[in-house]
Structures are given as structure tokens and as C-alpha cells.
Amino acid sequence: MLRGKRVGLVTHAAAVTPDLQAAPDALVESGVALRALFAPEHGLESAEADADPISHGVHLRLGVPVYSLYGETHSPTPAMLADLDVLAFDMQDVGARFYTYISTLFYVLRAAGQFGLPVVVLDRPNPINGLAVEGPLLEPGFESFVGVALLPVRHGMTPGELARWLNAENNLRADLTVIPMQGWRRAMWFDDTGLPWVPPSPAMPHLATAVVYPGMCLIEGTNLSEGRGTALPFEVVGAPWLDAHGLAQTLNALGLPGVRFRPTHFIPSAGKHAGQRCQGVQAHVLARDALQPVRMGVRLVAACRVARPDRFAFLASSWEGRAPHFDLLIGNATLRTGIESGTPVAELIANWPSDEDDFRRWREAYLLYE
């Protein structure tokens, strides 16, 4: 499909073959004329910090241009596409709406549709399985680069399935081909596949990180540390002014399925509260199939606000310069304002099952695997 054509590849370090050969090298060795590479957030080598802009460059070994899709533009420009016959997309996602590789996929499909360039998506597993759907649908008006389409927080789809959904539901008009996986089933977690885990971003070192990420990433929208700058990003949460023991007791008393919380102390080397001793909790997942990470994250945020209403705060805006970041992550303003007013969490998330059921039906036509 790609031989004899001038190919641009949208990729990153986690796109490897089972024997850990990088996707660009695998394509070149198979005789593909690779003319350009496109880098998402965190860069081609998945080494840059979150939200840091990526610059254009040249791949020193392959000698092809590397165009940034996370800097001056999120979308491939006509100049970037002028020398290409086809775009290939090969990136490992982690299964949460706000992980920005979904947004990069959206903008690639949109540009391809505008400029009449075919797109081939090389599918990869959803590492946290393809069955679970959780969280509210993003509300219109809250679209951003951490929520590019009206998906729930945990969508349970693969990149190939998302490409089909995004292309059709947003009328992107891309000439899209998805190369499906062989042997993947919806109930699989990444460690069921036998494939090697390569971190798709600096703060996603292990599968265990991805398991809790759909809920723990909500901490990004607050003045709590989400564990960046520690060995356990998104698994530990805290701040200098929290009481670790009391917070763990409060959370464990909720009896949340599949998880227990351990009081912990940590000193982040980067990010919020860098260099300060934080007290908080580590989320220990005991039964990942029972875990509801998005609900867990909301309960954690609410508990921290109740524990220290004088110190806890939602961030006033996002790096996009509009709307509180928490609102862009969860996809609405209702949850934040409800937590701030003391509305019981059960009441705030009461409509989630309806959203989740609606999306399961909505996505059905785009699924590729049983």
C-alpha cells in the first residue's frame, strides 16, 4: 500500500515492532520512500515535558524533515504535505480522551481531508482494554487540545477505531484506511498482548500509570501535585499542606472498587510543589477490572477540597489561556462548580451511566474487534 509512494509518517518512540524496531526504520527497511516525519506532543522521541512546544528539525540518521504538530501549529500545513502522496499514522495511545495523541489524529485527518491526501492508520492496542467506557461526554463548547471531540473520558477504542469515528462523526472527509491488528480482543490489557511497553510520554513509564491515568490526570486541573517529577507520576497525589494519613482514611472509607489508598510522602523534582515535601496518597490498584478510575479521580479531588478548603484550589485557566483546566479535562464546568459548592459527588456523577450507555451504542458502528 505504501511502496512506490512518497510517505509522511506521524509517529513517536512508542511506535515499535514486537522486536523493538522503530516504525520509521521498519518502513524504510521494507522499501517505503519515507519523505517526512511528524512529531506530536513530547516530540518524536517522546522525551519532552508535557505542554512544552516542539520545534521542527531534521532526522539526523534518516535525513528527512521532522515537522512539529505541537508548536506553531497542531495541523499539517500545505507546505508540509506538498511532497507527499500519503500520510501514515502510527502512535500508541493510552485510552483517555485528554491524552493529546487523539487530538493529533483529529488534525491529521482534517488536513488530509482538506488537501486530498490519503491516510493510513496502523492500529495499536488500547492498553487499558476496549470494553470499559467511563465518564461524561465532552459538552459542546469545551473542545480543546485535551478534548478535541465529544468522547467520554475513557472511550475504550483503539487509534484505528477512533480514526473511523472522528472522520465520520466530524465530517473530516479523509480518504482513510485502517490496518487492523491481528489477534487483539477487546478484553485485553496491554500486558495480555505479549508486546513490549515503551513509554509513550515521559510521565507514562508503565502500564500501571495508564491504568489510573483516566482519573488521576484530573489532578492536573488543581493545585495538587499529580506526581510529575517522581517515580510514580499519576499514582501519587499530594501537596505540602495535606494530611496523608487522614486523606487515606477518608478515601478508603468510601470503599471504591478495585483500589486502596496508602498515605505517602514525596518530594517532586519538577512540576507543582517541586522541591517541597508533599503529603498525600498512592493509589494501589488491587483489581483493575473493577476499578473505575474516572470516578476515583473525582472522589480524590473532592476529598482534598473537603480536607483543606482553605488551601485547595482549581487552576483558574489552562495553558490554552481559557477556561479552568479541570473543565477542559472533564469536559464541562458542572463538576468543578458542584465540588466547589459542596454538592455530593454521587449527585454530580448521577448522569454518567446514561452518557456511558449512549456512547457504547454510538461507537458500535466503528468498532473493528470483538
The DSSP secondary structure of 5-22, one letter per residue, reads SEEEEEE-TT-B-TT--B
192 and 53 fall within a common domain? yes
Q: 245 is written with which cell numbers? A: 494519613
Residue 132 in any domain: the answer is yes
Residue 350 in any domain: the answer is no
Alpha helices in 116-206 (DSSP H): 159-169
Per-residue pLDDT, averaged over 225-231, amounts to 97
For residue 154, the model assigns a pLDDT of 98
- Measured in degrees and rounded to the nearest 5, phi and psi for residue 260 equal -130, 150
* Spatial distance between the Cα atoms of 35 and 170, rounded to a whole number of angstroms: 29
User: For the domain that residue 289 is a member of, what is the CATH number?
Assistant: 3.90.1150.140
Which candidate, 201, 191, 205, 216, places its Cα nearest to that of 284?
A: 216
For residue 319, the model assigns a pLDDT of 76
Residue 294 in any domain: the answer is yes
211 and 162 fall within a common domain? no
Residue 49 in any domain: the answer is yes
Residue 32 has pLDDT above 90, yes or no: yes
Q: How many CB atoms lie within 10 A of CB 252?
A: 15
Name the percent of the chain lying above pLDDT 70: 100
For residue 159, the model assigns a pLDDT of 98
Q: Mapping DSSP to helix (H, G, I), strand (E, B) and coil, where does residue 267 land?
A: coil
Residue 348 in any domain: the answer is no
The structural domain count of the chain equals 2
141 and 236 fall within a common domain? no
Name the percent of the chain lying above pLDDT 90: 98
Residue 367 has pLDDT above 80, yes or no: yes
Residue 318 has pLDDT above 90, yes or no: no
What's the whole-number average pLDDT of the chain? 97
For residue 322, the model assigns a pLDDT of 81
Residue 157 has pLDDT above 80, yes or no: yes
63 and 188 fall within a common domain? yes
176 and 50 fall within a common domain? yes
223 and 191 fall within a common domain? no
Give me the domain span that covers residue 255: 207-332
Which candidate, 329, 337, 333, places its Cα nearest to that of 151?
A: 329
178 and 222 fall within a common domain? no
Could you tell me the CA-to-CA distances from 14 to 21, 75, 118, 169, 317 in Å, in that order? 10, 21, 23, 28, 31
* Spatial distance between the Cα atoms of 34 and 65, rounded to a whole number of angstroms: 10
Q: Mapping DSSP to helix (H, G, I), strand (E, B) and coil, where does residue 359 land?
A: helix
Paired with 121 in beta bridges are 89, 178
Residue 339 in any domain: the answer is no
For residue 167, the model assigns a pLDDT of 98
295 and 158 fall within a common domain? no
User: For the domain that residue 16 is a member of, what is the CATH number?
Assistant: 3.40.50.12170
Residue 24 has pLDDT above 80, yes or no: yes
220 and 251 fall within a common domain? yes
Residue 150 has pLDDT above 90, yes or no: yes
Residue 136 in any domain: the answer is yes
For residue 87, the model assigns a pLDDT of 98
- Measured in degrees and rounded to the nearest 5, phi and psi for residue 368 equal -115, -10
Q: Are 111 and 31 in contact (CB under 8 A)?
A: no
For residue 8, the model assigns a pLDDT of 98
185 and 51 fall within a common domain? yes
Residue 317 in any domain: the answer is yes
- Measured in degrees and rounded to the nearest 5, phi and psi for residue 268 equal -65, 140
For residue 320, the model assigns a pLDDT of 79
189 and 239 fall within a common domain? no
14 and 113 fall within a common domain? yes
Per-residue pLDDT, averaged over 65-86, amounts to 97
For residue 321, the model assigns a pLDDT of 76
Residue 222 has pLDDT above 90, yes or no: yes
Confidence of residue 217 (pLDDT cuts 50, 70, 90): very high
Q: 25 is written with which cell numbers? A: 526504520
